[in-house]
Structure 1
Amino acid sequence: MFPQVTLTTRQPLAGDLKGAWTRHGIHLRQDLNQAGRRSTLTHELVHRERGTVCTGDPSDHEERTVDEIAARRLITLDELLDVLLWTEARTGAEAADELWSNPHMLGVRIQTLTKAEREYISEEVLRRQPW
């Protein structure tokens, strides 16, 4: 999808950054697990597409926007619904692992559900319950 992007885990990153993009490519922390790499890479690709730099500040509007776009790419609505049903609405690490995401991205996806998405999930949960 992005053949022109070089990906490396050898570049040291400042502070607690999990990833960063520069003119040389995208750098990921070496100690990330697969879900962490997938989540961080998607986040950094969105930054690259938008031409923005990661501030690492969760209160920054651009960071929240990038997180939301990345979370929506990583977790479809139907995948989220399936995991919520399977985990009985528990949204911790187990649910995130099932989605090949990190818990942060799962939280962002849930927090940024639209009204229509919330209604869809509610209707489907009621419809699928074996009462």
Structure 2
Amino acid sequence: MGKALPDIEYMLLPGALNGLYDKQTHTIYIDPRLDPPTTRATLVHELVHAERGDTACCDAWFHAKQELTVERAAAMRLISTDDLIAGVRETCDDRHLAAWLEVDLDMLNTRIGILTAAERRVIEEEVDRLGRTA
């Protein structure tokens, strides 16, 4: 039997914080002011934190490493290679591609940043086939 999904609550969060996971209450908090693509990206990001059982950390280096690991995992879940290729068939504009994939631009950039050599080659071949510049 798997772990229960965390509760999700919407509440105004301070500063530039889009969401957070509270391990003690097993609750994800999402800022309701976010647009739908950012909400989707934030929710998956926080779900990865919940699955990992992450807690807030006070060491800046460890915090940055944890966030990068979680963001990469979320990007892999939200944007498959096939979806990225299909999106490139529609547009090569980053903002339009992010909207087409229903993610925010940060999540798209994270996914592009972790493409494998094979994934990058397939996407570049598709862009070349379409006669576009990447």
Q: How many residues are aligned here?
A: 126
AA aligned opposite 1:83? G
Q: Tell me how far apart the structure 1 counterparts of residues 84 and 70 of structure 2 sit (CA, whole Å).
A: 19
Unpaired runs of 5+ residues, structure 2, are none
Deviation at 1:127, TM superposition (A): 4.2
- Percent of aligned pairs with the same amino acid: 35
Q: Tell me how far apart the structure 1 counterparts of residues 112 and 55 of structure 2 sit (CA, whole Å).
A: 24
**TM value normalised by structure 2:** 0.81
Q: Tell me how far apart the structure 2 counterparts of residues 54 and 37 of structure 1 sit (CA, whole Å).
A: 21
AA aligned opposite 1:72? M
Structure 1 residues 61, 124: CA separation in 2 closer, same or farther (over 3 Å shift)?
same
Q: 1:83 is matched with which residue?
A: 87
AA aligned opposite 2:119? E
Deviation at 1:20, TM superposition (A): 0.4
Q: 1:96 is matched with which residue?
A: 98
Q: 2:10 is matched with which residue?
A: 9
Q: 1:20 is matched with which residue?
A: 20
Q: Tell me how far apart the structure 2 counterparts of residues 113 and 76 of structure 1 sit (CA, whole Å).
A: 10
Deviation at 1:125, TM superposition (A): 3.1
Which structure is higher in helix share?
2
Q: Tell me how far apart the structure 2 counterparts of residues 53 and 75 of structure 1 sit (CA, whole Å).
A: 26
**TM value normalised by structure 1:** 0.82
